C-alpha cells in the first residue's frame, strides 16, 4: 500500500516475509524464492542486515563497513537483481538496520574505521564514532588475549612483524603487532622499541579477555566485546553510517526499515526523527521490547514495534490459567523454585549481571558521577563506593529498558515517577546511610539541579542521563531475557524475548483491549509469531503451551520420564535444566519423532550457559556438559522414553492443532503489518539461534501450496497451517484497507463462551473480515464441546476463506462455523476470491 505526502511515494507493507540472508542465502538465491512468496500472498520482503559483516557472520548484525553491501551475499549487483525480481511481483523491500554497534573483527583492519582509531587515537577522523573516554594517555581496551598480558609476552605470543602477504587494510611492508590471528597497527616510530614500551605507547591496550568485565573505557553491545557501540547521535556519524542505506532508499531499491535495538542509542527519539525527516516518513519499525504496562514513546516517529508485544499476548491468550498450579508443583519438585519466586529470581539475576558481566558499565557510570561530586564542593562527601552501591541497586530495580529522560528537557511526569519508583525499591535494599547519596544519583539521572546552583546542564551531567539509561537497558536485557528467562521453567513458552511470564495467561477481553489500543495508537506496527531472536519458534511455543491445558497428564508424563531415565540420569543434574529438557521434548517431539540429538543438546547447553547456574560461557563445566550430552543422547534412544512421548504426541495432537492454527490466525489478522518468519507459513520445529536461523527449503512448500491451490485437502497440520497462512495473506492483499491504512479498524465480536475469541477488521467502520479462533480446547471438550454456544457475526453474508463455507450474519453456532477447523477467517461473500 502506498500513500503520497510531501511529493514522495511512501509504501506501507500489508504483510512481510522475513528472510535470513547470509552465506547460505545470498541475494541471488533469495531472488529465486520471490515467485513462491508472491503466490503465498506476502506484499513485502523483509531482509536481515545487508551491509558488509565480519568474516563468517551468519546473521549480519556485526557490520564492518557501512559503505558496502555484503560481497558474501553478492554485493550491490546481486542486491539490485533481487529488488528487480521483487518489483516484478509488486513486492516491496524492507531492510534491517543496525545503528547501535559495529564489529571488532579479526583482523581488526577489516573495520577500517576502527583500525584508524586504533592507529591514530583521538586524532583519528573517526574518533567521534565510538563512545570512548579519551582521557590523558587513555588507551582503547582490546580484550583479545587468551591469558594475562605478562604471560603472553613472556611466551613470545605477541610480536612485531611485517606480513609476508598483504591483508585487507595492511600492506606487506607495514609493521603490525601480531597475536595469533589478530593484527593491530603500530604508531609510527615505536616499532623498534622494546615490546613492553611499545605496548605502552599505542592508542590501544591489549588485555586478557576477562578484563573487559571490570575495566572498560568504551561502550559495547551489552557484554559482547566483539561489538563496539557507535555514536550515531552525532550527525556526521549518522550521515556516514546511513549514506548507502539512504542511497538505496532514494534510488527506489528500499521502501522501509526495521531498526535494531534503538534503546542502546544515546538518543533514540532523535535518531528516529532524523531518519524520518531524511526519508520523508518511510515506514519504520523499532525493535523495542515493551513491558506489559508500557507503550512505545508517543514522540517516536515510527510505525510501531517489530511485534514482541503482539507475540506474547497471542501466546498467552491460549494458555489455560488452571495449569499454573499443577505445573508449579512440577517446578518445585524439580527445581526448588516456587510459583511466587519469579520477582526474587529476577532481582538476583539482574544483580549478578550488574556486578558481574556488566560491572565495567556500572563502574564507568558510577565513576562519572563520583567525578562530578568531587568537583562540586556541595557534593564532595558522596564517595565512589556509596555512589556505586546506589547506582547498582537503582539499575537492578529498573523494570524496563529506559525511562526516556532527555538531556536539556524537563523529565516528564511519567519518566520521573518511574525513576522515583525504582529509587524507592533500591532504598529498601541499601543501608540507611546511603539514602542521601541515592537522592543525589536520582536527581542527576533525572537532570535535576543538585549541588551548586546553575550546573545542571553541564555536558558531564547530560552524559550521566544518557549512560544511566544505556546501562539500565543492558542490565534488563542480560539480567532478564538472557538469565532469568533461562532459569524460570514454570512454563518455558512464556519466557520469550519481550515476554511476560509473570502474567502466565490472559483472557480474551485483555487481548481485545490491547488490540483496540494498538489500532488507535500504532496501527501499522508489526505483528510477529517467530523471529530470528526467539528462544523457540511459534510452533514449539504452542506445543509447550498445551502443557497448561493437560497439566495433570503432563505431571504423570514427567514422572514416567524420570522413572524411565533414573538408571542413567546424572545424580547432579540441575533441576532447572531437567525441567527445561522435558518441556523442550514436549515442544519438539512430533509425529516424526524427536529432533536430532545434536540440535537438542546444543540448545540445552546454550540455555544452561545463559542461565549461569552451573555452567557459563566464560567458565564452562565441561564434565557436566558432557554428562548432559550423554544423558540426552541416551534418553532419545530409550524405548520407554519414546513410548511416553509418542503417547504424549497422540494425546496432545488435537489441542496442539488448535493452538498452532489459532496462533497463526490471530497473528495474521490482529492490528498491524503481519510478518511471517521464514518457514513458519508451515509447521517448523525451531529453537534458539543458530537453530532458528538455518536455511529453509522452500521448494517443498511451493509444491504443497500448488497442491492445495489445486483443490486438495490438507493431509496434516503442516499443510493446514500453510493453507491458513496463504489464504489469510492473500486476503490481506485482496482487502488491504481492512488491515492497514486510515480506514482500517478493529471491533471485538460477542461470543457466548470464553473458549472463542472473535473480532472483525473494519473499513470505515463497516466489517470486512472476521476472525474466530478456538482457545483452551481441552477444557472445551471436557465440558461437552461447543453445544449451543455461538458467535454473533456482523450483518451480511460471510465466506470462510479456508473452506468456502458461507454463513449469514447474526448468531451462528460455533459448532457449525468451526466444523472443519478450529479457526475461521471470513470475508464478505460479495468479495472477489
Phi and psi at residue 113, to the nearest 5°: -65, -50
What distance in Å separates the CA atoms of residue 794 and residue 760, rounded to the nearest whole number? 8
pLDDT at 703: 98
Q: Is residue 35 domain-shared with residue 6, that is, in the same domain?
A: yes
Please return the burial class of 666, using the count of CB atoms within 10 Å of its CB with bins 0-12, 13-18 and 19+: buried
What distance in Å separates the CA atoms of residue 828 and residue 543, rounded to the nearest whole number? 33
Q: Is residue 360 domain-shared with residue 455, that is, in the same domain?
A: yes
> Is there a contact between 392 and 355 (Cβ–Cβ < 8 Å)?
yes
Query: CA nearest 640: which of 582, 555, 560, 585?
Result: 560
**What would the mean pLDDT of 636-647 be, rounded to a whole number?**
98
217 or 556, greater pLDDT: 556
Q: For residue range 730-743, list pLDDT tens digits in order.
A: 999 999 999 999 99
Query: CA nearest 368: which of 126, 121, 135?
Result: 135
Query: CA nearest 34: which of 93, 74, 75, 76?
Result: 93
Q: Is residue 90 domain-shared with residue 170, that is, in the same domain?
A: no
Residue 1 pLDDT greater than 60, yes or no: no
Where does the pLDDT of residue 8 fall: very low under 50, low under 70, confident under 90, or very high at 90 and above?
very low
Q: Is residue 116 domain-shared with residue 36, that is, in the same domain?
A: no
Q: What interhelical angle do 342-355 and 459-476 show, nearest 10?
A: 130
Among 485, 508, 534, give the residue marking a domain's end.
485
How many folded domains does the chain comprise?
3
Q: Is residue 349 domain-shared with residue 465, that is, in the same domain?
A: yes
Sign of CA dihedral 278, 280, 283, 288: positive
pLDDT at 576: 98
CATH code of residue 186: 3.30.1590.10
What distance in Å separates the CA atoms of residue 296 and residue 300, rounded to the nearest whole number? 8
Going through 443-544 in order, the beta strands assigned E by DSSP cover 526-527
How high does pLDDT run on average in the chain? 95
- Work out the percent of the chain whose per-residue pLDDT is above 90: 92
Sign of CA dihedral 519, 520, 525, 530: negative
Q: Is residue 11 domain-shared with residue 53, that is, in the same domain?
A: yes
Query: CA nearest 656: which of 743, 587, 704?
Result: 587
Going through 503-615 in order, the beta strands assigned E by DSSP cover 526-527
Q: How far is CA 569 from the centre of its chain?
A: 34
pLDDT at 832: 53
Q: Is residue 63 domain-shared with residue 187, that is, in the same domain?
A: no
The answer to the question of residue 91 being in a domain is yes
User: 700 Cβ partners below 8 Å, 6+ apart?
Assistant: none
What distance in Å separates the CA atoms of residue 559 and residue 330, rounded to the nearest whole number? 9
> Is there a contact between 441 and 365 (Cβ–Cβ < 8 Å)?
no
Where does the pLDDT of residue 6 fall: very low under 50, low under 70, confident under 90, or very high at 90 and above?
very low
Q: HSE-up of 144 (CA within 13 Å, CB side)?
A: 23
691 or 167, greater pLDDT: 691
Judged by phi (left if over 0) then psi (alpha if -120 to 50, else beta), residue 773 lies in beta
The answer to the question of residue 475 being in a domain is yes
Q: For residue range 312-365, list pLDDT tens digits in order.
A: 999 999 999 999 999 999 999 999 999 999 999 999 999 999 999 999 999 999
**What would the mean pLDDT of 17-45 be, rounded to a whole number?**
97
Helix (H) or strand (E) holding 438: helix 435-445
The answer to the question of residue 77 being in a domain is yes
Phi and psi at residue 27, to the nearest 5°: -60, -45
Lowest mean pLDDT among 214-218, 371-375, 588-592, 779-783: 214-218
pLDDT at 7: 37
CATH code of residue 250: 3.20.20.80
Residue 150 pLDDT greater than 80, yes or no: yes
**What would the mean pLDDT of 211-222 be, rounded to a whole number?**
85
Among 485, 507, 542, give the residue marking a domain's end.
485
Q: Is residue 183 domain-shared with residue 263, that is, in the same domain?
A: no
The answer to the question of residue 393 being in a domain is yes
CA-based Rg of the chain, rounded to a whole angstrom?
A: 28
Say how many C-beta atoms besides its own lie within 10 A of residue 77's C-beta: 10
Q: Is residue 193 domain-shared with residue 219, that is, in the same domain?
A: yes
**What would the mean pLDDT of 611-624 be, rounded to a whole number?**
96
The answer to the question of residue 497 being in a domain is no
Query: CA nearest 582: which of 606, 565, 599, 602?
Result: 565
Please return the burial class of 4, using the count of CB atoms within 10 Å of its CB with bins 0-12, 13-18 and 19+: exposed
Distances (CA, A) of 696 to 53, 387, 556, 682, 705: 22, 51, 36, 11, 15
Q: For residue range 431-460, list pLDDT tens digits in order.
A: 999 999 999 999 999 999 898 876 766 889
The answer to the question of residue 271 being in a domain is yes
The answer to the question of residue 174 being in a domain is yes
3-class SS at 280? coil
Q: For residue range 459-517, list pLDDT tens digits in order.
A: 899 999 999 999 999 999 999 999 999 999 999 999 999 999 999 999 999 999 999 99
Q: For residue range 764-822, list pLDDT tens digits in order.
A: 999 999 999 999 999 999 999 999 999 999 999 999 999 999 999 999 999 999 999 99
Q: Is residue 411 domain-shared with residue 458, that is, in the same domain?
A: yes
Q: Is residue 215 domain-shared with residue 240, that is, in the same domain?
A: no
- Residue range(s) defining the domain that contains residue 348: 344-485
Cell numbers for 234, please give them: 552525532
Among 459, 485, 511, give the residue marking a domain's end.
485
CB-based burial, 676-688: b 16+ in 10 Å, e otherwise: bbbbbbbbbbbbb
The answer to the question of residue 552 being in a domain is no
pTM above threshold 0.75: yes
Q: Is residue 348 domain-shared with residue 475, that is, in the same domain?
A: yes
- What are residue 285's DSSP bridge partners? 258, 304
Say how many C-beta atoms besides its own lie within 10 A of residue 260's C-beta: 21
Amino acid at each position: 500500500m502506498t500513500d503520497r505526502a510531501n511529493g514522495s511515494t511512501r509504501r506501507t507493507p500489508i504483510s512481510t516475509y522475513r528472510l535470513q540472508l547470509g552465506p547460505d542465502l545470498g541475494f541471488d538465491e533469495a531472488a529465486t524464492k520471490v515467485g513462491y512468496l508472491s503466490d503465498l500472498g506476502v506484499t513485502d520482503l523483509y531482509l536481515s542486515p545487508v551491509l558488509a559483516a565480519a568474516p563468517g557472520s551468519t546473521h549480519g548484525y556485526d557490520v564492518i563497513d557501512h559503505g558496502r553491501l555484503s560481497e558474501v551475499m553478492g554485493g550491490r549487483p546481486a542486491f539490485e537483481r533481487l529488488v528487480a525480481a521483487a518489483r516484478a511481483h509488486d513486492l516491496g523491500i524492507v531492510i534491517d538496520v543496525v545503528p547501535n554497534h559495529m564489529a571488532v573483527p579479526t583482523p581488526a583492519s577489516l573495520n577500517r574505521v576502527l583500525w584508524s582509531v586504533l592507529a591514530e587515537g583521538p586524532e583519528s577522523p573517526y574518533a567521534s564514532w565510538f563512545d570512548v573516554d579519551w582521557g590523558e594517555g587513555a588507551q582503547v581496551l582490546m580484550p583479545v588475549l587468551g591469558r594475562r598480558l605478562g604471560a603472553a609476552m613472556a611466551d613470545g605470543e605477541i610480536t612485531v612483524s611485517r606480513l609476508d602477504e598483504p591483508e585487507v587494510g595492511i600492506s606487506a611492508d607495514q609493521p603490525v603487532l601480531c597475536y595469533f590471528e589478530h593484527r593491530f597497527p603500530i604508531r609510527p616510530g615505536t616499532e623498534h622499541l622494546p615490546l613492553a614500551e611499545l605496548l605502552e605507547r599505542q592508542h590501544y591496550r591489549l588485555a586478557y579477555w576477562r578484563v573487559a568485565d571490570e575495566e572498560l573505557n568504551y561502550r559495547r553491545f551489552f557484554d559482547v566485546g566483539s561489538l563496539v557501540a557507535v555514536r550515531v547521535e552525532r550527525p556526521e556519524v549518522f550521515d556516514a553510517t546511513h549514506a548507502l542505506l539512504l542511497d538505496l532508499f532514494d534510488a527506489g531499491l528500499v521502501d522501509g526499515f526495521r531498526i535494531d535495538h534503538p534503546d542502546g542509542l544515546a538518543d533514540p527519539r532523535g535518531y528516529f526523527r532524523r531518519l524520518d525527516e531524511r526519508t520523508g516518513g518511510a515506514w519504520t519499525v523499532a525493535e523495542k521490547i515493551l513491558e506489559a504496562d508500557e507503550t512505545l514513546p508517543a514522540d517516536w516517529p515510527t510505525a510501531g514495534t517489530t511485534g514482541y508485544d503482539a507475540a506474547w499476548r497471542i501466546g498467552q491468550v491460549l494458555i489455560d490459567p488452571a495449569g499454573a498450579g499443577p505445573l508449579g508443583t512440577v517446578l518445585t519438585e524439580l527445581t526448588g523454585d516456587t510459583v511466587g519466586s519469579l520477582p526474587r529470581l529476577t532481582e538476583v539475576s539482574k544483580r549478578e549481571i550488574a556486578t558481574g558481566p556488566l560491572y565495567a558499565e556500572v563502574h564507568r557510570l558510577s565513576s562519572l558521577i563520583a567525578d562530578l561530586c568531587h568537583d562540586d564542593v556541595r557534593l564532595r562527601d558522596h564517595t565512589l563506593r556509596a555512589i556505586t552501591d546506589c547506582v547498582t541497586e537503582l539499575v537492578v530495580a529498573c523494570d524496563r529498558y529506559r525511562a526516556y529522560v532527555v538531556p536539556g528537557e524537563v523529565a516528564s511526569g511519567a519518566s520521573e515517577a518511574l525513576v522515583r519508583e525504582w529509587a524507592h525499591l533500591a532504598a529498601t535494599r541499601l543501608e540507611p546511610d546511603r539514602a542521601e547519596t541515592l537522592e543525589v544519583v536520582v536527581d542527576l539521572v533525572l537532570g535535576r539541579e543538585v549541588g551548586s546552583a546553575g550546573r545542571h546542564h553541564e555536558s558531564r551531567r547530560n552524559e550521566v542521563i544518557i549512560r544511566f539509561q544505556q546501562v539500565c537497558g543492558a542490565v534488563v536485557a542480560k539480567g532478564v531475557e538472557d538469565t532469568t528467562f533461562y532459569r524460570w521453567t514454570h512454563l518455558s513458552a512464556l519466557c520469550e524475548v519481550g515476554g511476560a511470564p509473570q502474567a502466565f495467561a490472559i483472557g480474551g477481553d485483555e487481548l481485545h483491549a490491547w488490540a483496540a489500543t494498538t489500532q488507535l495508537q500504532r496501527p501499522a506496527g508489526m505483528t510477529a509469531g517467530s523471529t530470528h531472536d526467539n528462544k523457540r519458534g511459534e510452533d514449539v511455543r504452542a506445543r509447550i503451551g498445551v502443557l497448561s491445558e493437560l497439566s495433570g497428564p503432563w505431571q504423570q508424563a514427567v514422572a514416567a520420564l524420570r522413572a524411565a531415565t533414573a538408571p542413567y540420569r546424572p545424580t547432579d543434574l540441575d533441576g532447572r535444566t531437567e525441567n527445561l529438557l522435558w518441556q523442550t521434548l514436549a515442544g519438539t517431539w512430533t509425529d516424526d519423532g524427536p529432533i536430532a540429538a545434536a540440535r537438542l543438546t546444543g540448545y540445552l547447553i546454550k540455555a544452561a550457559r545463559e542461565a549461569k547456574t552451573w555452567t557459563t560461557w566464560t567458565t564452562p563445566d565441561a564434565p557436566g556438559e558432557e554428562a548432559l550430552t550423554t544423558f540426552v543422547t541416551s534418553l532419545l534412544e530409550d524405548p520407554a522414553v519414546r513410548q511416553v512421548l509418542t503417547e504424549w504426541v497422540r494425546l496432545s495432537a488435537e489441542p496442539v492443532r488448535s493452538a498452532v492454527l489459532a496462533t497463526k490466525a490471530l497473528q495474521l489478522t490482529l492490528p498491524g503489518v503481519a510478518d511471517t518468519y521464514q518457514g513458519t507459513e508451515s509447521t517448523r520445529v525451531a529453537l534458539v539461534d543458530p537453530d532458528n536461523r538455518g536455511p529453509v527449503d522452500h521448494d517443498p512448500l511451493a509444491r504443497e501450496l500448488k497442491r492445495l491451490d489445486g483443490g486438495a485437502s490438507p493431509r496434516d497440520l503442516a499443510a493446514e497451517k500453510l493453507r491458513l497462512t496463504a489464504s489469510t495473506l492473500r486476503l490481506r492483499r485482496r482487502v488491504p484497507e481492512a488491515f492497514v491504512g486510515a480506514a482500517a479498524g478493529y471491533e471485538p465480536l460477542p461470543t457466548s463462551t470464553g473458549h472463542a475469541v472473535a473480532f472483525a477488521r473494519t473499513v470505515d467502520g463497516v466489517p470486512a473480515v472476521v476472525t474466530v479462533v478456538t482457545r483452551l480446547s481441552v477444557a472445551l471438550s471436557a465440558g461437552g464441546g461447543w453445544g449451543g454456544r455461538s458467535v454473533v457475526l456482523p450483518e451480511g453474508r460471510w465466506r470462510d476463506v479456508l473452506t468456502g463455507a458461507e454463513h449469514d450474519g447474526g448468531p451462528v453456532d460455533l459448532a457449525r462455523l468451526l466444523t472443519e477447523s478450529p479457526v475461521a477467517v471470513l470475508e464478505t461473500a460479495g468479495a472477489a476470491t
